[in-house]
Structure 1
Amino acid sequence: MNPLYYEDMIRQALNEDIGFQDLTTETIIPEDHFSAARISAKAEGIIAGLDIAKKVFTMLDEKVDFRASVQDGERVTSGQAVAVIEGRTRALLSGERVALNLLQRLSGIATETNKAVECIKDFDCHIVDTRKTMPGLRGLDKNAVKTGGGYNHRFGLFDAILIKDNHIAAAGGITEAVGLVRAKVGHMVKVEVETETIEQVEEALQNPVDIIMLDNMSTALMRQAVQLIDKRVLVEASGGITLDSLVEIASTGVDLISLGWLTHSVKALDLSLNIVSGEKSNV
């Protein structure tokens, strides 16, 4: 990922946390004090966001040495070392919370995504994310989904057309909405239509669309829709899907399953940072 993309976000997060100064650290720790610290896993999961964590510390002190013990996408177990950091103690302590917050969130997303991917590994179907991300962190959230083995849906409102129920209602129907879209967007833009009934699927198929979303359908209705579509366009399942229902949904023959909970209510992977030496050393 382009580091210029996330530098401003990290800077904003550090300014939010540190403000004018880290009052505790700067009153206790001399400016020339050096330490080594270790980031460790306190639970099993998939690591994501190591470059982000490294950037937090190097923004505070460009001479900080951040050595990852694992790679993004690698599974860790409780007690396993994730990274070793050496540098000015003030930088380590002032950057600790921001680095851990981001690393824990992104690793949590990667971990949940990997669980979903593993559930349907025997099917020709992909797990994809949604726009239900933390404001300001979308790029990082979506990159974590990829790290966990998932795929990205559209990044925002600007890079693909998704005609949802409210668009259809406002336009007067699927045909009207697709017609308006096709008259105004270029040939490089994909068009997806949300459907909730077989009748809507039939109408969508009569229009130049690339993807049909089956929203909140029963699995029986999904199977019927997949047979009707007959691979003419990609089929996405969405709405009310849980880890327990993934296999049943994938077995209907859909191509994609979009899951908002990968990012909107993720449980952070438990990680900790501990000072292990008060002077620079190889730990």
Structure 2
Amino acid sequence: IIKEMFSDYGIEIISSKKDGDAISKGDVLLELEGNARKILLLERTALNLLMRMSGVATITNRIVKKVHDVNPKIRVAGTRKTAPALQKYDKLAISIGGGDPHRSALDDMILIKDNHIAVVDSVKKALELAKENNSFSKKIEIEVESTEDAIIACENGADIVMFDNMSPDEAQDTLNALEENDLRKDVLIEISGGITEDNILDYAPLDVDIISLGSITHQASSLNFSLDMD
């Protein structure tokens, strides 16, 4: 993205790192040649975006490696808690870091949240309404906060069941109940809510498909880059 930005202004790219490359302090990421006025015009925008995306990719990559050391089958996903106007770049940075970008827009799938359930007063009714108003091509995901609701969701056709703000022990008990009722075969299980880099390894041993966390975008620290003219 940064290379394209400079190229559009006629700046020649002499050399560059690739997306996903590991970097160390003092590395040269990009060498440019061209009109100094144009380079300086783009400097701050390019650096801000590069630092932001590299920060998101770095924390994502670090968390993915930690989780996969324990459980290589789990997908580590982001959420829609992205920086205003930067969602496209935050999602791409998650992918570059080895994570799953999850949804980008509300119409990517149907996600039934706690407030939706509260409006219709039951998990079953929420799923029925979603199916009535949904194309076959879109998956339906629903948030649940209890073992009972997880069972109801699986029995009533949810494609993805998200354990919302469950502790590791609560999640394990719910997984056991789904196994005992033979409800795991056609359902993906996602865990989300209150998960950070500090506690994600408490969830990594669980037999789930996805762990999603907003902290890889809303708590990411930008890396520190600078542009030096020669």
The equivalent of 2:51 in structure 1 is 104
Q: Give the structure with higher Rg (CA).
A: 1
Q: 1:169-220: per-residue Cα shift (whole Å, max 9, x none)?
A: 0012111111011011111101111011111112112211111101111111
Deviation at 1:66, TM superposition (A): 1.9
Q: Secondary structure of the equivalent of 1:251?
A: coil
Quick check: 1:141 aligned with 2:90?
yes
Alignment partner, residue 196 of structure 2? 242
Contact 1:56 1:98 (8 Å CA) reproduced:
no
| 1:58 CA drift (Å) | 3.0
Partner of 1:80: 27
DSSP-derived class of the 2:105 partner: coil
- What is aligned with 1:207? 156
1:130 and 2:79 are equivalent in the alignment: yes
Q: Distance in 1 between matches of 2:101 and 2:2?
A: 22
Q: TM-score if structure 2 supplies the norm length?
A: 0.93
Q: Which amino acid letter does the alignment assign opposite residue 86 of structure 1?
A: E
The CA distance in 1 between the partners of 2:177 and 2:105, in whole Å, is 30
Q: 1:251 aligns with which of 205, 219, 222?
A: 205
Kept in 2, the 8 Å contact 1:175–1:203? The answer is yes
Question: Tell me, what secondary structure is at the counterpart of 2:68?
Answer: coil
How many residues of Structure 1 are paired with residues of Structure 2 in the alignment? 223
Gaps of 5+ in 1: 1-51, 277-283
- Partners of 2:26 and 2:45 lie apart in 1 by 21
Q: Is residue 93 from structure 1 mapped to residue 40 from structure 2 by the alignment? A: yes
1:228 deviates by 2.5
Q: 2:67 aligns with which of 120, 143, 146?
A: 120
TM-score computed with the length of structure 1 as normaliser: 0.76
Q: CA separation in 1, counterparts of 2:110 and 2:176? A: 24
What do the CA deviations read for 1:201-257 (whole angstroms, capped 9, x no partner)? Answer: 121122111111011111111011122233331111111112122222011212111
What residue number does 1:56 align with? 5
Separation of aligned partners in 1, 2:4 and 2:18: 15
Residue aligned with 1:274, SS: coil
- Greater fraction strand: 1
State the distance in 1 between where 2:80 and 2:14 align.
32
Tell whether the 8 Å contact from 1:235 to 1:256 is kept in structure 2 after alignment: yes
Amino acid at match of 1:185: N
Could you tell me how far apart the structure 2 residues matched to 1:143 and 1:275 are?
29
The residue identity in structure 2 corresponding to 1:121 is H
Gaps of 5+ in 2: none
